[in-house]
Amino acid sequence: MTALDNLFKTPGAKLIGYVPAGFPTVQGAKEIIKAMVDGGVDAIEVGFPYSDPVMDGPTIQAAADLALANGTTSKDVMETLRYAATLAPSVIMSYWNPIEKYGVEKFASDMAQAGGSGTITPDLTIEEAQPWLDACKKNSINPIFVIAPSSNDERLKKVVTNCGGFVYAASLMGVTGARAQVSSAAEVLVDRARKFTDLPVSVGLGVSTPEQASGVANYANGVIVGSAFINAVQNAPSFNEGLAAVKQLATELKAGIAR
């Protein structure tokens, strides 16, 4: 039983905040995580910065590029996770190449030792996931896969029955980024996933306002926000003002969820 499992046993939809390790610096990412949690974020996704993030839009790509330019290493990612896990249930979001290069068993083991609850692997297909599933089971961490509106019922069942912690439901066929509205496909996808699993289902891609968070919380167990937090930092006149904006945004999103 991970900290993430225990979090979802408590009532109410949860607010999950994302930031890449190393953005805008290794220490800065930790400060952003602290501001998120201080504002009401319930769980943290630590992004493993990657040069070809196929699921991520321009905002997160730019943040990841900056983290890589800063020389952020896998060790920095694990240290950021270790810090985050002292504040809230925390996971890593990573594309598969960095995990494979790190070593599948070692990645899972080091994650567990750092206090992490699991890993979101957006580009790992379920057909190729058995070594990862074995490593997660051995180290008692959650394997979190992403489902999309395009998935048929047979594939949905195969994916969600191998998830742990929660199921990550992508709200649309596209990339991350703040949007004017959350796709109506998200609610349909959550309902379809629940036919095959009792796990919590969290929705990501496009949530950026309290109103959107409130809407998603009506049908999902978790509301995932990434680009909006990064924008809050990037658009601020100074980093300290960015931290204040992150905390304020978290407070507003959490209030939206609580409506």
Q: Pick the closest to residue 222 from 22, 41, 97, 84 (CA basis).
A: 41
Which residues lie below 8 Å from residue 88, measured CB to CB, with a gap of 6+? 3, 7, 37, 41, 42, 43, 44
pLDDT value, residue 182: 55
pTM metric for this prediction = 0.94
CA–CA distance, 235 with 187 (Å, rounded to integer): 31
pLDDT (tens digit per residue) in 73-125: 999 999 999 999 999 999 999 999 999 999 999 999 999 999 999 999 999 99
Contact (CB, 8 A) for 16 and 44:
yes
Q: How far is CA 185 from CA 103, 120, 127, 171, 227, in A?
A: 36, 21, 25, 6, 20
**Mean pLDDT of the region 123-132:** 96
Encoded tokens for 203:
């929705």
pLDDT in tens, 15-33: 999 999 999 999 999 999 9
Q: Structural domain boundaries of the chain?
A: 3-144+211-258
- Which pair of tokens denotes residue 216? 């998603």
Tens digits of residue pLDDT in 30-61: 999 999 999 999 999 999 999 876 667 789 99
Between strands 43-47 and 90-93, the pairing is: parallel
> Which is nearest to 47 in space by CA: 108, 93, 82?
93
pLDDT of residue 53: 63
Q: Answer whether residue 173 shows pLDDT above 60.
A: no
- Please, what CATH class does the domain formed by 3-144+211-258 belong to? alpha beta
CA angle 27–33–37, rounded 5-degree value: 150
Give catalytic residues, as residue numbers: 45, 56
pLDDT, mean of residues 203-218: 93
Q: Which pLDDT score, from 0 to 100, does residue 172 have?
A: 58
- CA-to-CA distance for 139 and 117, rounded, in angstroms? 10
User: Token match 């204040």: residue?
Assistant: 244
- Cα gap 170→122, rounded to integer Å: 10
Give tens-digit pLDDT for 227-239: 999 999 999 999 9
